[in-house]
Amino acid sequence: MANDYNALLAKRQEIEIIARQAATISGGGFKMASAVVDAFVDLTLPSRADAENDLIDGFAADADAPRKPGTIMLSWRKLTDVVTDIVIAAAEANTQHLWIVVFVGLTIWSKLQASAAERLTADEATTMLALWKYRRSSDEIGDDDGFTKANAVRAELGMPALARDKYEAVLACLLQLGCVDVKDGIIRLRDTLRLQY
């Protein structure tokens, strides 16, 4: 088996395109999109049968030969730890752009797992930003506290507050995306998503 660098590069390019599209929609730049991918996404190399070295009954392995998939790992912890640095490094030193970094991350998360979630907005991004910013060490936050903190973050960013019913709809979207779990009024943040490609 040989490492399949072409598959890794193709997947990286696919993710970069998703990030650039999300950044463009939300008012961020390509530099910010690349920085989000660098911080949020880890790819491992898939392996494929090596045509030169893997012979089956004297013939080179073909396209149907066994393939070990690569892994995509998305990490909210890594991304939220560097949100401010990404905004500054992207020459967009405007704290109102913090939500765009999370929006790009949510879009990547949603597209890669082929989620049927409705179109993402700044509401999901600012809520996710708040939940990660104010979580307890156990990666949990109370539902009421999450609502309060989401609106505090929105106020810091100069955005209008979310009504409680809108916040609940946003939380339902994040739950559908698999970014959070909610049980007994406690929101548990999901740090990583692992997918194969």
- For the record, the structure tokens of 72 come out as 């995509």
- For the record, the structure tokens of 139 come out as 């990666």
Distance CA 4, CA 52 (A): 14
Residue segments in the chain with a per-residue pLDDT below the cut of 70: 1, 49-65, 91-95, 115-118
pLDDT of 128 reads 97
pLDDT of 20 reads 97
pLDDT of 58 reads 47
Query: Cα-flanking dihedrals φ and ψ of residue 194, to 5°?
Result: -115, 130
Burial of 63 (0-12, 13-18, 19+ CB in 10 A): exposed
Answer for the pair 76, 179: CB distance below 8 angstroms, yes or no.
Answer: yes
pTM: 0.84
Distance CA 112, CA 105 (A): 11
pLDDT of 56 reads 45
Q: Name the residue ranges covered by the structural domains of the chain.
A: 2-196
- Provide the percentage of residues in the chain whose pLDDT is more than 70: 86
pLDDT of 55 reads 46
- For the record, the structure tokens of 70 come out as 């690569």
If you average pLDDT over every residue of the chain, what do you get?
Answer: 89
CA 83 to chain centre: 12
pLDDT of 160 reads 98
pLDDT of 64 reads 60
Nearest Cα residue to 18 out of 81, 197, 26? 26
Residues linked to residue 73 through DSSP beta bridges, in sequence order: 42, 194
pLDDT of 118 reads 63
Please write the tens of the pLDDT for every residue from 8-53: 999 999 999 999 999 999 988 899 999 999 999 999 999 876 655 5
